[in-house]
Amino acid sequence: MKSQVQPKLIIHGGAGSSLHGKGGLEAVRRSLYAVVEEVYALLLSGVNATTAVARGCQLLEDDPRFNAGTGSVLQSDGQIRMSASLMDGASSRFSGVINISRVKNPIDLAQFLQTAPDRVLSDYGAAELAREMQIPSYNALTELRLQEWIQERQDNFKRTMAGVVAEPELLETSNAGRGTIGVVALDAYGKLAAGTSTGGKGFERIGRVSDSAMPAGNYATGYAAVSCTGIGEDIIDECLAAKIVVRVTDGMSLKDAMKKSFAEAHEHQRDLGAIALDANGAIAWGKTSQVILAAFHDGVQIGDTLELPEGTEVGCTVEC
């Protein structure tokens, strides 16, 4: 198959409260740019969007700075339970795992399930699949996340969720964070895919399910693809990813679909963000939170959203 379009890529490492210093901002930027560079090189080499998205999610899960895979937050009982999903826009096929423990990369299971008859598995079933795949047991806990949980336990879990990034200088001062990672890609053949992974919001009730393994938080068709971040309950209430994608699929421009969807979210006082691509190569992002930790490759250069003004914002590259 001959390549038809210039590949495009956008990733995120969560959304939420401000990064309280240049140290935090620059560290996040370095992490995001490294992932963009590796995944974009794969797209240029002809790797398809779904494979590239899965690789990008792996890299972000492996970075302890972000709340997915290694560095995931702890739930109220001190355990880590992770969720991830992958959607291939060309086939409109969604797959995912919910509340899985003891694996390094939840996205690997979501990728495997793309071709399975049962494509979304919860805790016990996902654990059985990991054993069938002979995935080694892995402890995703980091010392920073453990100390964060201990601090909150001593304070009777007054915060409703954990910090947006695991940075030593931020744990003491960060307000509510919405830690999720996501990757959206348009490959050289015009195919779209989206992937999202999370450790949850932290300190939550056992059994709580995030948006990351639902079409509300991760969705793609042949027309557009979206990965969300923010308060999962708000994303689910808005059905944000699917809403944006359906609007584009029905003929609305990506820019207009994002603006309308985020205007509604703002009116409903939601706290969330999203990254998106369409089949024409438009790159877009939006947020009602203070920051969205996103970086992208527009086919020419890498850019990011780390120093956007606080508050509701929808941005696009020139193609929008």
Q: In the predicted model, what is the mean pLDDT of residues 275-300? A: 96
For residue 128, being part of any structural domain is answered with: no
Residue 252 has pLDDT above 90, yes or no: yes
Q: Which CATH number belongs to the domain containing residue 52 in this structure?
A: 3.60.20.30
pLDDT digits (tens, 9 = 90+) for 177-194: 557 999 999 999 999 999
**pLDDT mean over 102-125:** 98
The answer, yes or no, to whether residue 2 has pLDDT greater than 60, is no
In tens, the pLDDT along 53-81 reads 999 999 999 999 999 999 999 999 999 99
pLDDT band at 108 (very low <50, low <70, confident <90, very high): very high
Whether 187 maps to a domain, the answer reads yes
Q: Over 50: is that where the pLDDT of 298 sits?
A: yes
Please determine, for residue 130, whether its predicted confidence score (pLDDT) is greater than 80. Answer: yes
Judge whether residue 173 has pLDDT over 50.
no
What is the C-alpha separation between 276 and 270, in angstroms, rounded?
18
* Per annotation, catalytic residue among 50, 70, 142, 180: 180
Q: What is the pLDDT of residue 163?
A: 64
In a domain, 111, yes or no: no
Instruction: Determine the longest span between alpha carbons in the chain, in angstroms.
Output: 59
Confirm whether 108 is domain-assigned: no
> Above 50 in pLDDT, residue 246?
yes
Q: What's the pLDDT at 224?
A: 98
Q: Given pLDDT bands bounded at 50, 70 and 90, which one contains residue 167?
A: low
Are 282 and 9 in contact by the 8 Å Cβ rule? The answer is no
Position with higher pLDDT, 7 vs 314: 7
Tell me the C-alpha distance between 165 and 162, whole Å. Answer: 9
Q: How many domains does the chain have?
A: 1
What's the whole-number mean pLDDT along residues 116-129? 97
Which pLDDT value is given to residue 168?
61
pTM: 0.93
Cβ-based neighbours of 8, under 8 Å, separated by 6 or more: 185, 186, 277, 281, 283, 296, 297, 298, 299
Q: Which domain holds residue 53?
A: 8-93+141-316
Confidence (pLDDT) at 64:
94
* Residue 118 located in a structural domain: no
Is 132 among the domain residues?
A: no
Which of 18 and 37 is assigned the larger pLDDT? 37
The pLDDT of residue 21: 53
d(CA 309, CA 11): 19
- For CA atoms 122, 128, 129, 134, the dihedral sign is positive
- The mean per-residue pLDDT over the stretch 83-110 comes to 98
Phi and psi at 208, nearest 5°, equal -60, 140
Task: Flag whether pLDDT at 162 surpasses 80.
Answer: no
Q: Are 4 and 188 in contact (CB under 8 A)?
A: yes
Flag whether 233 is in a domain: yes
Q: Is residue 39 part of a domain?
A: yes
Q: Is 115 a catalytic residue?
A: no
